[in-house]
A = this chain, B = another copy of it.
Amino acid sequence: MPETLMRDVAELTVPGMLQNSVSYQIRLLQIASYKSFEQQMSSHGSAPRYFGLLKIVEANPGIPQTRLAEAIYLDRSSLVPILETLTREGWVERKKSTTDKRVRRVFLTKAGAENLARLEDEVTAHETMVTADLTPAEKATLLDLLARVDKTLRANFGGAS
C-alpha cells in the first residue's frame, strides 16, 4: 500500500445489480465524462458546455429559438439565459425573422464560427482520449448500441422533455 490510506471498510462491494445496469453505468459514465471534459477545456469561456448547441446552430443557421431548444431537449425558457451568455461572449447573434415577427433566428457570428473550429479541435482531442481503448469497430458498435437504446427510450417515452 504505497500512499493509500487505511480505510475503515476493507473493500467496497459494488452490487452486481448496479454493475449490470445499463441505466446506472450510463449515469456514472456521463458524470465522469462530463467532469473530465469541463476540466480539459482550457478556455473558450462558457462555450465548451454549449458545444453541441453551437454545432447545431452552425448546421442549421437561422434556426428559431424554440426549434433549437427542442433539438437539445430543453424548455424554450431555459434556452434564453444561455443565448444571452453566448451573445454576450460573441458566439451567436439573433435576428428577427422577417416572415414571422414572433420568431428570432439564431446564427453564429463570424468570430463565433472561427472560434468554434478551434474549440472543435479540443473537443475532438477529448473524444479521442475517451475512446482511446476502443478499436474503430468497437466504437461503431458502441454508438450503434447507444442509438438503439436511445430509440427505445424515446419510443416508450415521448420527447424526453
Contact = CB atoms under 8 A, between A and B. Distances in A.
B29 A153 contact: yes
Contacts of A9: 60, 62-64, 67
Given A26-B26, A67-B9, A153 B20 contact: no
A46 interface: no
Interface stretch (A77-85, A86-94, A135-143): A135-143
A17 interface: yes
Nearest to A146: B25
Contacts of A14: 56, 59, 71
A33 B37 contact: no
A152 to B, nearest CB: 5
B52 A146 contact: no
Interface of A: 7-9, 12-15, 17-37, 39, 52, 55-56, 58-60, 62-64, 67, 71, 73, 97, 100, 103, 120, 123-124, 126-127, 129-134, 138-139, 141-143, 145-154, 156-157, 160-161
16 contacts: A12-B56, A12-B63, A13-B56, A14-B56, A14-B71, A17-B124, A21-B123, A21-B127, A22-B139, A25-B146, A28-B73, A29-B149, A35-B157, A36-B156, A134-B149, A145-B145
